[in-house]
Amino acid sequence: MENEIIDLVAAISKIDTARSAEAILQEFRSAMARYGLRNFLITGLPVPHDADWQREILGDGWPVDWYNRYVSEDHFQHDPCVAQCRHSPQPFLWRELPAARLSKRSRLVMDEAAEFGMKDGICVPIHVPLAGPSVVTVASDRIEVPTSTLPFIETLCVHTFRSLAGLGTPGDGGGDEPTPLTARERELLE
């Protein structure tokens, strides 16, 4: 366990010193590879039935063919992982989704993910005040991660999400430059 803590601190340090989304995602990918997790998606979860959910993606490490299939088949609307993340702050393994409660369409999403090499995964829901839920999901053809390792994976997922979300773009309040106040905001503060 001591080595896992050292690896976690090293990965977080590398993510903290990364200066771009690409560098952050490369460090995250390397850290997840230690656990045999090759595929990931880091995204916000807009309201249900939002046809443009892809605008919320912060990091896409899915196989290109799977992403295209997921979008073309509108799987987002039926993804049981998305539904679970909206209602629970607890990380979960895909295999923990109650099979008896999955709709036919939800089972199809999971079956097709397996066809693209993502037979099992871990979802880390992230609930941010004054914003909709988000998720970091990591997956592979199989997961053989000891239960004691899951908190390390969760920590890396949350830290990576926060690092990516904190990059921001000029003028959105997420960068180094302060966002100028509007005339009305200045008036109210006087």
Q: Tell which phi-psi region holds residue 143, choosing left (phi > 0), alpha (psi between -120 and 50) or beta.
A: beta
- Taking the CA of residue 69 as centre, how many other CA atoms within 13 Å lie in the half-sphere pointing to its CB? 15
pLDDT tens-digit map of 77-130 = 999 999 999 999 999 999 999 988 999 999 999 999 999 999 999 999 999 888
What is the pLDDT, as a whole number, of residue 172?
A: 41
What is the pLDDT, as a whole number, of residue 1?
A: 66
What is the pLDDT, as a whole number, of residue 189?
A: 63
Average pLDDT, the chain: 88
Indicate the domain borders of the chain.
Answer: 2-189
pLDDT > 90: percent of the chain: 67
CATH number of 2-189: 3.30.450.80
Residue for token digits 């090759």?
38
pTM of the model: 0.84
Alpha carbons 165 and 158: distance in angstroms, whole number: 10
